Structure 1
Amino acid sequence: MADRLFSIEEANALIPKLELLMARLQQSAAQLRRSIEALAAETGRAANDLSGSDIVTLRPGLRPLIVEMEQLVGEIEACGGEFKGLDLGLVDFPAEVDGEVVLLCWQFGEKEIAYWHALEAGFSGRKPLSRQRDRRKYLQ
């Protein structure tokens, strides 16, 4: 069982803060990607072939950006959700429904929690909280 279980209201109350953190994180990630692509072009290597240590060795000025990104992920997780990925901007919140722990699933850009999935299902298993009866189950 998770350390903390969220209601929809509790998870929704965090969305304004998560929006800001995720926006900053995605901006930093875009800046890092551009820098890595430029570094790859300069070195004649594919961006995918550059390891993290290669990047900070060849561009030590990128270290603060990487540290900032790690701190932003830490701030997201300090809210109680689980950061699931930068590309889609996913954060999951443990919740309990009928005695079963599930994950309320938020994606960057969504204004409220509208989906859930089983613990082992992941993003591809997202199901809408579309029916009012289902939404009430998650409010407890």
Structure 2
Amino acid sequence: MSKTFTLSEAQTLVPVLDALVRRAREAALRGSVLDEEMQRLNQRIFLSGGLHVDVPAAARRRAEHDKAAQQTKSTIEEIAEIGAEITDLEAGTLELPCATEGRVVQLCWRLGETEILHWREIDDEMDVRRNLTRGFGRGQRLQ
């Protein structure tokens, strides 16, 4: 079984997770922009029959793209090593497993939130976010 967290443990991770999710999102966005540039460059190369190619500039862009992709991947892996799972990088959402009342639920956090305020059952749809102060188990707030 993977690591589970108490609400208190998960709350202490929010500042770290916030920084990591921001880093992963920025790297992914940078990679996406560079990918679009590379596609446009490839199109120009194709249309010109391979003439007028600035090989050093293209190589630099490729290296920047690869670096951004690697940074995205390694940051997502770092988040996973902590025990959290990114559910939507673009939206900045992630979940942490929490064992409570004999079952495991997911604590839900979104970039911009200063604390974890939501949870969902494992078999709930990913977009279901229940308020921690209402409807949890016997109506008790997670410890």
Structure having the higher helix fraction is 1
TM-score range, shorter chain: 0.7 to 0.9
* 1:12 counterpart = 2:25: no
Distance 2:115 2:64 in 1: 37
- Counterpart residue identity of residue 85, structure 1: D
Stretch of structure 1 that moved more, 28-37 or 81-90: 81-90
Larger radius of gyration: 2
CA 1:71–1:134: 2 relative to 1, 3 Å: farther
Structure 2: give runs of 5+ residues left out of the alignment. 45-58
Quote the Cα distance in structure 1 between the aligned partners of 2:78 and 2:140: 27
Matched residue, 1:114: 117
TM-score w.r.t. structure 2 length?
Answer: 0.76
Structure 1 residues 9 and 134: CA distance shift in structure 2, 3 A? farther
Residue in 1 that maps onto 2:33: 34
Letter in 2 for 1:100: R
Shift of 1:70: 1.1
Deviation at 1:115, TM superposition (A): 0.6
Following the alignment from structure 2 to structure 1, what is the Cα–Cα distance between the partners of residues 123 and 62?
38
How many aligned positions are there? 126
Quick one: distance in 1 between partners of 2:120 and 2:43?
Answer: 43
Out of 72, 94, 108, the residue aligned to residue 105 of structure 1 is: 108
- Give the drift of 1:37: 1.5
After superposition, where does 1:1-140 map in structure 2 within 5 Å?
A: 2-44=1-43, 59-131=62-134, 134=139, 136=141, 138-139=142-143
For residues 53-104 of structure 1, what are the alpha-carbon distances to aligned partners after superposition, in whole Å with 9 as ceiling and x for unaligned? xxx9x92442222111111111111211122221111221111232121100
Once the two structures are TM-superposed, the CA of residue 41 in structure 1 deviates from its matched residue by: 2.4
What SS class does the counterpart of residue 95 from structure 1 fall into? Answer: strand
Unmatched tracts of structure 1, length 5 or more = 46-55
TM-score (normalizing by structure 1): 0.78
What is the DSSP-based 3-state SS (H/G/I as helix, E as strand, rest coil) of the residue aligned with 2:12? helix
Is the contact between residue 35 and residue 65 of structure 2 (CA under 8 Å) also seen in structure 1?
Answer: no
2:123 and 2:5 map into 1 onto residues whose CA distance is 18
Task: Give the match for residue 47 of structure 2.
Answer: none
